[in-house]
Structure 1
Amino acid sequence: MTAQPHPNRPHTTVVLAMSADGKIADARRSPVLFGSPHDKAHLERQVALADAVLGGAGTLRTGGTAMRVLDPDLLDERQSRGKPPQPVQIVASGSGNIDPDLPFFQQPIPRWLVSTQAGATLWRDRPGFDRLLVAEGNDREIDWAIALAAMAELGIERLAVLGGGQLVGSLLSADVLDELWLTVCPLLVGGMAAPTPVDGEGLLATEAKRLELLDVRQMEGELFLHYRLKGRTE
């Protein structure tokens, strides 16, 4: 399926693995991946299709590294499309409070930060990010319409969002999501404090975003669900 570009923002796809009870991590937010090697390969393919990968600072603090494209066939595919070996890795952090000693900053990848004025100021005179995107709204939080418009102007046409739930919730509220890939893994986690694919304040049932199921695949015990937000075009 070929995504059609939006006039002022990238085509945005959320890619997450979750437990059968809808959790993307345990209550301690441990850096343990739920998915199997099949899910990891699926995630790497989605990353390879993207011009940039967006993740929240909390997810980065937990994992410490970015998801890179390592499969030789996927690297060849990117080269054949005229793309660099690795998509841009974009971290979202309103505060800019990110440990510069994380392994993320040693990986051979392009790194951008999307933040507020205050958050970007922390990184103006220090190494780590190749580009700082300031997208501050009236509430001094990240304004996603501004942020995604800036990404589009910089040539980002396809954006993969790898979490966490707070970030996805913010993007959903801003109505800038197009698709979701959700891998349902055969385990139960439970816990009121365990994050879900869409956290934050949430939406009332009358305001819920409706989805169109595009594809279902099963590999061993996992289900791969592909949704599109209703009203979006291919």
Structure 2
Amino acid sequence: MTIHVNAATSVDGKLASRRREQLAISGPADFARVDRVRAANDAVMVGVGTVLADDPSLTLDDPELVATREERGAPPQPTRVVADSNARTPPDARVLDDAAPTVVLVAAGAPDERVAAIENTGATVLAAGDERVDLPMAFEGIAARGLVDVMVEGGGELIFSLFDAGLVDELTVYVGSTIVGGRTAPTLADGEGFVDEYPTLDLVDVERIDDGVLLRYDC
């Protein structure tokens, strides 16, 4: 299995404003790149915080990319995966529509009525862990369903948890020419934070795109 984290941040490392509002950090060229990365993967993953804040669809925008996937025998759209320990994903969220299959990862302790509401949309609910989603166990579960190449698009809590579990293989970060500020604004990796040992990355490429730079790391 390979896990590729992709994110866009401001110069000061923010994913969004302190109001948790989505920001247009990158431009058309980077949007197209992200679509290509999505198309190359079996699944696109976010945390429930991203679903609640942005209501993303996580589907491909370019019909040519859809056609290319079908030509190689893959489903037209990557499977959408949501890490959602307490099953907070609203049943009317776009990520639960019929545009692509969806797997929602929950903890065993998630409320039954919320789990049932998600399952009633046609999504697959996969329990892994007791009170919080156990990510290594969850990835074993989705790999068993043929989802072995996963692109993660945020947010900061999920990205931190993935690094904390040593699960990230590749990181790409688009840094746009914007300052956001705000001590409570979400960053690339939030969570509890590292205090003793810090993940170190290997910078393998730097590329200018639109009015920003794309940093590629091996992890």
Bucket of the pairwise TM-score, normalised by the shorter protein? over 0.9
Give the aligned partner of residue 142 of structure 1.
133
1:34-82, Cα deviation, whole Å (9 max, x unpaired): 1111121111111111101111111011111222112133123212321
Q: Is the 8 A contact 2:78 2:100 kept in 1?
A: yes
Structure-1 residue corresponding to 2:216: 226
Shift of 1:99: 1.7
Instruction: Give the AA of the match of 2:200.
Output: R
Match of 1:207 in 2: 197
> For 1:184-230, what per-residue CA distance to the aligned partner results, in whole angstroms no more than 9, with x for missing partners?
000000110011111101112x511111112111023110111111x
Q: Amino acid of the residue matched to residue 17 of structure 1? A: A
Show the counterpart of 1:127. 120
The one-letter code of the counterpart of 1:133 is L
Range moving further from structure 2, 106-115 or 65-74 = 65-74
The alignment partner of 2:167 has SS state of: coil
Find the residue that maps to 1:171 and give its secondary structure.
helix
The structural deviation recorded for 1:120 is 6.7
Alignment match of 1:27 (pick from 6, 18, 21): 18
1:196 alignment partner, SS class: coil
Match of 1:232 in 2: none
Choose which of 76, 93, 100 in structure 2 pairs with 1:109. Answer: 100
Structure 2: how far apart are the matches of 1:103 and 1:67? 9
Contact 1:111 1:128 in 2 (8 A): no
> 8 Å contact 2:28–2:210 — kept in the other structure?
no
Identity %: 32
1:72-91 mapped onto 2 (5 Å cutoff): 72-91=63-82
Checking the alignment, whether the CA contact within 8 Å between 1:50 and 1:160 is kept in structure 2 is: yes
CA contact (8 A) 1:44 1:67 kept: no
Q: Where does structure 1 differ by over 3 angstroms across 4 or more consecutive aligned residues? A: none
Displacement of 1:156: 0.9
Match of 1:153 in 2: 144
Q: Secondary structure at the match of 2:92?
A: coil
Alignment partner, residue 84 of structure 2: 93
Unaligned runs of 5+ in 1: 1-9, 230-234
2:109 is the alignment partner of 1:118: yes
- CA contact under 8 A between 1:94 and 1:142: conserved in structure 2? yes
Number of aligned residue pairs: give it.
217
Letter in 1 for 2:68: E
- Counterpart of 1:111, as a letter, is T
Instruction: Write the distance in 2 (CA, Å) between the matches of 1:161 and 1:33.
Output: 18
Look up the equivalent residue of 2:65 and give its one-letter code: L
| Number of the residue aligned with 2:168 | 177
What is the TM-score of this pair, normalised by structure 1? 0.88
What is the rounded CA distance, in whole Å, between the counterparts of 1:124 and 1:141 in structure 2? 18
Contact 2:27/2:210 (<8 A) preserved: no
Whether the 8 Å contact between 1:20 and 1:186 is mirrored in structure 2 is yes
CA offsets 1:114-169 (integer angstroms, 9 cap, x no match): 011232732236512431111014xx211111001111111111000010000111
Q: Which amino acid aligns with 1:37?
A: P
Q: Shift in Å at residue 89 of structure 1?
A: 0.4
Matched residues in 2 for 1:65 and 1:107: separation?
A: 14
RMSD: 1.5
Within 2, Cα distance between the matches of 1:19 and 1:196? 9
**Equivalent of 1:63, from 54, 57, 68?**
54
Indicate conservation of the 8 Å contact 1:123/1:129, yes or no: no
